[in-house]
């Protein structure tokens, strides 16, 4: 028996990285997948075919997660195309790292809007079909940087800390309706986002991890699978650190 057989999942930012890995993992486990992309149009368009090879229904939507109206329209389209929505994975995210002294208002706003406002946008829209069917699982991608902070990432850390407060509040608001809300706080996961970093910084991070390696996309996707599936039926309002013991 597959863990997500017949469930409808919406994953934001699945064209690359962790979101892409979660989409593949969920399709392998029998979920029908609605996913979004924004800049990576070719990759986004190719993903639906990749997912359909698992024998499930898949559809990609080009949608900006930071746009409130677009999020509402997206969820309406997903419900029209798939019938309902069981799982929401708020994964879309960016970094615009720099010291506070150099950070522009635009860099602050972009990171807060794409990382944090997007979670509000999508969760608010997704709660409607979830409330109607009296069940749902919401999984938000935070970061250990949102727990411990990081020099040069004040905008990113604030967005990821905000996601944790939001996740816990929604868990309290919607728990009685059988809608669970949890967060994943990945540590150093090696993806395109981290490829853009200085190799010396990356080597330094690996050395500080008790398991002496960066995390893989699969490490995060497996945790998302647990939180999205009925395996975690009584887990609500929690943050699971996937960091190899980096933050204990």
User: Which residues of the chain form contacts with ligand NAP (CB under 6 A)?
Assistant: 12-19, 36-40, 44, 64-66, 91-94, 114, 141, 143, 186, 188-189, 191-194
- Report which DSSP code applies to 215: B
Residue 150: count of CB within 10 angstroms of its CB: 14
Decide whether 35 or 82 has the Cβ nearer to ligand NAP: 35
Decide whether 84 or 194 has the Cβ nearer to ligand NAP: 194
CB neighbour list of residue 217: distance below 8 Å, 6 or more residues apart: 17, 18, 20, 21, 189, 191
Decide whether 46 or 100 has the Cβ nearer to ligand NAP: 46
List the beta strands (DSSP E) in the chain.
8-11, 32-37, 58-62, 87-90, 136-141, 179-186, 239-242
Decide whether 101 or 105 has the Cβ nearer to ligand NAP: 105
CB neighbour list of residue 189: distance below 8 Å, 6 or more residues apart: 18, 214, 215, 216, 217, 219, 220, 242
Least separation in angstroms between residue 31's CB and ligand NAP is: 18
CA-nearest of 106, 117, 108 to 66 is 117
Least separation in angstroms between residue 167's CB and ligand NAP is: 13
Contact 242, 188 (CB under 8 A): no
Least separation in angstroms between residue 66's CB and ligand NAP is: 5
- Catalytic residue annotation: 156
- Classify residue 67 by burial, with Cβ atoms within 10 Å: 0-12, 13-18, 19+: middle
Least separation in angstroms between residue 17's CB and ligand NAP is: 2
The number of residues making up the chain comes to: 248
């Amino acid at each position: 028996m597959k863990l997500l057989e017949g469930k409808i999942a919406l994953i934001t930012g699945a064209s690359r990285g962790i979101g892409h890995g979660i989409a593949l993992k969920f399709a392998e486990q029998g979920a029908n997948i609605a996913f979004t992309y924004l800049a990576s149009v070719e990759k986004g368009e190719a993903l639906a075919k990749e997912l359909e090879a698992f024998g499930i229904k898949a559809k990609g939507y080009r949608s900006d997660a930071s746009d409130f109206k677009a999020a509402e329209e997206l969820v309406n389209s997903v419900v029209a195309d798939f019938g309902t929505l069981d799982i929401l994975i708020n994964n879309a995210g960016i970094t615009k790292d720099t010291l506070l002294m150099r950070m522009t208002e635009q860099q602050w706003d972009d990171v807060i809007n794409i990382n944090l406002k997007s979670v509000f946008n999508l969760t608010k829209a997704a709660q409607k079909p979830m409330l109607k069917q009296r069940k749902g699982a919401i999984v938000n991608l935070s970061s250990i940087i949102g727990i411990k902070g990081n020099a040069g990432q004040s905008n990113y850390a604030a967005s990821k800390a905000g996601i944790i407060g939001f996740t816990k509040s929604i868990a309290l608001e919607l728990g009685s309706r059988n809608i669970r809300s949890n967060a994943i706080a990945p540590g150093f996961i090696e993806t395109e986002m981290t490829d853009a970093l200085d190799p010396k910084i990356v080597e330094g991070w690996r050395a500080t991890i008790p398991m002496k390696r960066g995390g893989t996309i699969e490490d995060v996707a497996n945790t998302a699978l647990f939180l999205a599936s009925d395996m975690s039926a009584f887990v609500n309002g929690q943050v699971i650190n996937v960091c190899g013991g980096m933050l204990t």
